[in-house]
Amino acid sequence: MRNFSFHNPTKIHFGEGQIAKLGKEIPPGSRVLVTHGGGSIFQNGVWAQVEAALAGFAVSRFAGIEANPQFDTLVRAVEQAKREQCDFILAIGGGSVIDGSKFIAAALCYAGDPLDLLTGTRIKAAVPLACVLTLAATGSESNPHGVVTHVARQEKLPFSSALLYPRFAILDPRTTFSLPARQIGNGVVDAFVHTIEQYLTYPADAPLQDRYAEGLLQTLIEEGPKALADPEDYAVRANLMWCATQALNGLLGCGVPQDWATHMIGHELTALYHLDHAQTLAVVLPALLAERRAAKRAKLLQYAERVWHLRDGDEDARIDAAIAATQGFFSRMGVPTTLSEHGLDAEVIPQVLAQLQRHQMTSLGEGRDIDLEVSERILLRAL
Amino acid sequence: MRNFSFHNPTKIHFGEGQIAKLGKEIPPGSRVLVTHGGGSIFQNGVWAQVEAALAGFAVSRFAGIEANPQFDTLVRAVEQAKREQCDFILAIGGGSVIDGSKFIAAALCYAGDPLDLLTGTRIKAAVPLACVLTLAATGSESNPHGVVTHVARQEKLPFSSALLYPRFAILDPRTTFSLPARQIGNGVVDAFVHTIEQYLTYPADAPLQDRYAEGLLQTLIEEGPKALADPEDYAVRANLMWCATQALNGLLGCGVPQDWATHMIGHELTALYHLDHAQTLAVVLPALLAERRAAKRAKLLQYAERVWHLRDGDEDARIDAAIAATQGFFSRMGVPTTLSEHGLDAEVIPQVLAQLQRHQMTSLGEGRDIDLEVSERILLRAL
């Protein structure tokens, strides 16, 4: 096992009715900026619960944080928060709203151009934030990371700071009952690939981390299709929500090598062609596993056996079967696994490679050996 | 899944050489009370590393916190800390030193008789504490619990407060190389039973928590004997250390029923007959599983299959085999599984039952239905 440090200070309140705890968790006297996406929180009863819990606080509401939250939108939220002198941010939504709110929290404490915070300037302060999660997917509810899209630059810009862990996160599985199937499928694929990025590399003598990851993957495989079949099965939604949080709260990655090349290539596909984040992952991951089968051989065999229970055939046949099973699972979740299903062909490859080069993404993966040539082969396999 | 709240704010620094981070983690200007057990930290190099890392801090050292830390000893430490005006506590050791130091931290902020804090008075303040772990077992390094022994009362008194999470914990597996085999065996059994207490109850539709627990148990079964065979295998010691921390940091118990009857009965055996904590668990657990096989049937079958890979024979045969395998594992770790191996016979049973009654431990277990009669049958099976 490698040396590591782990510190996740986010407090979780999990279960039905937990939104009522908001009022006790936010410091008395706070002026709260509530951020959210569209109007769904008014239809699914979430806003009514939040509003009741926030009685007694000064509240300013900012609507319209979109999927892949945009820099320009967030700057408007920062202006509103300054005008209203907000000193606490409550994000209601999924990863996009929470990521965007993390950026707002940091930008509120930064005197210069907020774009600096996405292009290398270290975040040195942030307004405290918390969240009410309404979509199980990204893990942003208990991690320090965010990604913001800059439309004019066609870029997805990641940022991270320990100051951006939500102070608390409320996870009520009922808030996800009314989500469209596409978002459920995307969420399950997102959590699955987050787990794979921290697991499917090479053996590092960390059997507990391996088993945690395998347990997560198996649970997503079991519960994911059930969530599509019955949108109001509380137990299923609860299990998916806890899986998604666990998949990217830092625990799985303790002491082990990590990959993240699928995410880096996927980010460019979203920035250029506006695919959903999880759609890019479902396209890139199977292609990457096939391309990297030599470097990942030992873990691919372990994955085949422990996650998919594949024990027949020789080693290469089992690896092939595991990759096919992964694709089959993404398909069952309604998420396509080829670029062509999104109407994209080989012409996009030079553009993606140019973006990777521009962003210095030329030595990706756990071995830092996925250069542009390897990325090209991955994209060719993903057609 | 049940509703739950989870918040573990302890920062972990894991791996060789991490003791050097002490100096940066303790607030500058702190007056540090260093607590430890016997003299082993001077022989195994731990004290030299701590001393170097604490250069620049005012340090007062308190030695002699024993296994099952005693109230009278800890009161002396409190007096020393007051005299030296210490405002930070650094525990170096295993669960006993850390548990004792948690009590010291609370007692330093309490104006009344410190015994109150063990008999029901709520802990309302505590001096910040941190630890350097040198024995993988109890999980005290990242949880809010402690147990203190009051010799005159023949009692083990548990206490708990969110104020008592260590601010940080340094886990260097090398510090465990020089431990005697008995402490390694005890530590593995302790972590194993902590996991079982949160897992082997009844199904609660929480498949991820189940798999985390099963992953922990399997890893302990694999790595435990290796630790006895080769005391200087770093990877093995690292895995056991991470397992022990994970087994009782609150994560496994999220949203699921918990038992803890084995611990409650075991505490009385330690208080009365001075068995090691883990020795009591190894004696009580197999007897409890046999006695409770009806209530725990579904999970016993799952445990048999997933942890011990027992698939032959009818259901009762598989349950018998799983309990026997558990006993066999404890024996391989050098920890006896019957009272008679500790020189105790049926005469002790009335005394243990009287203690349980005195401590209002008359409705134990996940169903609160282990009354004194059931405890008696468990103890009879444990002979």
**Separation of alpha carbons B135 and B172, rounded Å:** 10
* Dmax (CA) of chain B: 66
Is it the case that residue A120 has pLDDT exceeding 90?
no
Above 0.95 for ipTM, yes or no?
yes
How much of chain A, in percent, has pLDDT values that exceed 90? 97
Tens digit of pLDDT for each residue in A21-32?
A: 999 999 999 999
The better pLDDT of the pair B323, A153 is held by: B323
Could you tell me how many residues make up chain B?
383
Cα–Cα distances (Å) from B27 to B22, B31, B97, B168, in that order, read: 10, 9, 22, 12
Tens digit of pLDDT for each residue in B294-341?
A: 999 999 999 999 999 999 999 999 999 999 999 999 999 999 999 999
**Separation of alpha carbons B92 and B135, rounded Å:** 10
- Ordered DSSP codes for A224-262: HHHHHH-TT-HHHHHHHHHHHHHHTSSSTTTTS----HH
> Residue A133's CB: how many other CB atoms inside 10 A?
31
Q: Which residue of A has its CA nearest to B7?
A: A11
Is it the case that residue A156 has pLDDT exceeding 90?
no
Whether A5 sits inside 8 A of B12 (CB atoms) is: yes
Q: What share of chain A is helix, strand, coil (3-state, %, to 5)?
A: 50, 10, 35
Residues of A with CB under 8 A from a CB of B: 1-18, 168, 205-208, 210-212, 214-216, 218-219, 222-223, 235, 238-239, 242-243, 246, 251, 254-255
Helix (H) or strand (E) holding A150: strand A145-150
Q: Which residue of A has its CA nearest to B11?
A: A7
Whether B242 sits inside 8 A of A1 (CB atoms) is: yes
Specify the pLDDT at position A155. 87
pTM of the model: 0.97
Among the CATH numbers 3.40.50.1970, 3.40.50.150, 3.30.1490.20, 3.10.20.30, which is that of B11-175? 3.40.50.1970
In chain A, CATH 3.40.50.1970 covers 11-175
CATH class of B181-381: mainly alpha
CA distance B252 to chain A (A): 11
Is it the case that residue A85 has pLDDT exceeding 90?
yes
Is it the case that residue A119 has pLDDT exceeding 90?
no
Tens digit of pLDDT for each residue in B199-231?
A: 999 999 999 999 999 999 999 999 999 999 999
Q: Which residues of chain B have pLDDT under 70?
A: none
Specify the pLDDT at position B280. 98
Measured between beta carbons, the chain A residues lying within 8 angstroms of B212 are 211-212, 215
Nearest Cα neighbor of A227 from A96, A334, A133, A142 is A334
In chain B, CATH 1.20.1090.10 covers 181-381
Which of B10, B218, B235 is nearest residue A205 as measured by Cβ atoms?
A: B235
Specify the pLDDT at position B134. 97
**Separation of alpha carbons A97 and A78, rounded Å:** 14
